[in-house]
A and B are shown apart, each in its own frame.
Chain A
């Protein structure tokens, strides 16, 4: 089992009221599985993704990735674990503005000390048709190129799990298809993908689809 959540709850206290953004969610994703979570804005999708990504401590329940519980690790070890096992893709691409395409992709090696980061970056740029944009800054790229760059960065360290938060939200159909196919391809190569989206068409690329409502998860 690559990814397993057991009764995970994340509560926030706002204006004196406890709100369960994620409410006793259990989820398992096998290696090679492409899972999606759909739901309306504010239903807790992004919170779920951050919990899985080791960035947000759950209020209760356990998260394990590759049989390791990241929240049982120290902050530095968890960061290292994240660098080696998890890749993130965001709706807003989140590229570093002063780095070019190649440097943005290689920046994933800042924490993981990838020995062949430059070579791997070349492969990924080739794969995502970015080679002729290698020296371009993020602001000089189209939205599709930006997301492909973010995807390449997420894949640099060959993670076991790819977490994608509305990766096609800002893309046209053609670019969205490229990204979704890439995610499917990642799963096809044995990786695990968790896609959160409100776009039913994007969720259609997934092997399993889950629906989230009011912090609770249900299988479609």
Chain B
């Protein structure tokens, strides 16, 4: 016979009282677990929402980027680098620079580490008379885009014109009855028509594009270009001066001309959308954080109330148990059982109640977690398993002390 055996028999005898105690502790632990799980579920949901919004933002921004790139292709480029000594009046009048600069400038730019521009498009343009056709055209020699080697490479916006071929604007191929694959002679050079553009309503309609080396040869400007178009300038229009400063550092004998300010506005819009997306994301984070704080505050208020109510109830049940077992206390004392052992008998019962209630509450919490697809981590389980016996022991402490203070002589006299 030991106190464990005595306690198990007593619990079996007073099932209802013990069961009510277990249930109340299970409710308290379940409420604690439930609150923690709800907070964790909130965190998981927040993470999911933010991830989805982040992904959506990236997708939207990417789509916007493509829009801007396409717009740039159709509407022209916003920055043009031309030789420093080029007269701007002439440049605006002729729409090309009469002065030229070394082609290697574009390589220097690409390797310079300039961060605000993604691509460079070198070209050599000149208004000429097509001798064989006896008409004025704009001849453009292009070699395609030179990517900024310090930026992530993306698909080029402009494809180079293959050597030995020519691309014709609408007015040229339409008036001369040319189509793709036809052969033409330009300044004595035999060229195949590579592409015929649709009508654009700009000077592009009287433009012919050939490869840059061939244009340099035909125009007797070997190794020279007269413009570098800067594509995808990744900064708001208000920061054009930063690009100018960056380019001037690398190519001091050039100047940067801003064109098509509509595009700058588009770029700014793009940045605004991006910034608005970020702000919306931040608002979502702030909103979720506020909601979490409110839930935390509610939990911080409710859990102690539930715990105190549960402790009071368990204490009340323990008082009842001591009262019901008064005679037993008297008998045990007369049998020589010391006060510490009497204390231990009541605390052991409380601990058993706590463990059973804790286990039940934990199971309820785990079931809730499973339903809400939230994993219960080890600290949460440990907390639940520790809180229940501690709660029960604390609540039963005073009743157990009272049991030890019972006067056996008084009890036995009453019996």
Q: Give a binary string over B316-354; 1 marks a CB under 8 Å from any A CB, 0 the rest.
A: 000000000001101111111111110000000000000
A55 interface contact, C-beta 8 A: yes
* Contact residues in A for B10 (Cβ distance below 8 Å): 98
- Shortest Cβ distance from A9 into chain B, in angstroms? 15
Please choose the segment from A72-80, A174-182, A191-199 that sits at the chain B interface, where 4 or more of its residues have CB less than 8 A away: A72-80
Nearest-CB residue, chain B, relative to A80: B336
Q: Give a binary string over A71-99; 1 marks a CB under 8 Å from any B CB, 0 the rest.
A: 00001100111111010101010111111
Most chain A CB atoms below 10 A, which of B1, B340, B409: B1
Known contacts A55-B333, A82-B336, A110-B6: A94-B341 contact under CB 8 Å? no
CB contact between B9 and one of A46, A53, A56, A103 (< 8 Å): that residue: A103
- Shortest Cβ distance from A67 into chain B, in angstroms? 19
A66 interface contact, C-beta 8 A: no
- Shortest Cβ distance from A146 into chain B, in angstroms? 13
Interface of chain B residues 196 through 240 with chain A (CB within 8 A): none
CB contact between B339 and one of A75, A95, A96 (< 8 Å): that residue: A75
Interface of chain B residues 286 through 340 with chain A (CB within 8 A): 327-328, 330-340
- Shortest Cβ distance from A151 into chain B, in angstroms? 14
Known contacts A94-B327, A110-B1, A111-B341: A56-B409 contact under CB 8 Å? yes
* Contact residues in B for A111 (Cβ distance below 8 Å): 332, 335-338, 341
**Structural contact, B3 and A110, CB atoms closer than 8 A:** yes
A82–B334 Cα gap in the complex (Å)? 7
**Structural contact, A46 and B413, CB atoms closer than 8 A:** yes
A112 interface contact, C-beta 8 A: yes
A50–B413 Cα gap in the complex (Å)? 9
**Structural contact, B335 and A108, CB atoms closer than 8 A:** yes
* Contact residues in A for B409 (Cβ distance below 8 Å): 50, 55-56
A106 interface contact, C-beta 8 A: yes
* Contact residues in B for A80 (Cβ distance below 8 Å): 336, 338
**Structural contact, B415 and A94, CB atoms closer than 8 A:** yes
CB contact between A110 and one of B2, B14, B327, B413 (< 8 Å): that residue: B2
- Shortest Cβ distance from B300 into chain A, in angstroms? 42
Nearest-CB residue, chain A, relative to B336: A83
**Structural contact, B13 and A98, CB atoms closer than 8 A:** yes
Nearest-CB residue, chain A, relative to B345: A110
**Structural contact, B13 and A88, CB atoms closer than 8 A:** no
**Structural contact, A94 and B412, CB atoms closer than 8 A:** yes
28 contacts between A and B (CB under 8 A): A50-B413, A53-B334, A55-B333, A75-B338, A79-B333, A79-B336, A80-B336, A80-B338, A81-B336, A82-B334, A82-B335, A83-B336, A86-B336, A88-B334, A88-B335, A94-B330, A94-B334, A96-B331, A97-B13, A97-B328, A98-B9, A98-B12, A98-B13, A98-B14, A99-B6, A107-B332, A109-B1, A111-B332
Apart from A90-B412, A97-B13, 7 more pairs, CB < 8 Å = A50-B409, A83-B336, A88-B334, A98-B12, A110-B332, A111-B336, A111-B341
Query: Which A residues lie at the B interface, using CB under 8 A?
Result: 46-47, 50, 53, 55-56, 75-76, 79-84, 86, 88, 90, 92, 94-99, 103, 106-112, 117, 153
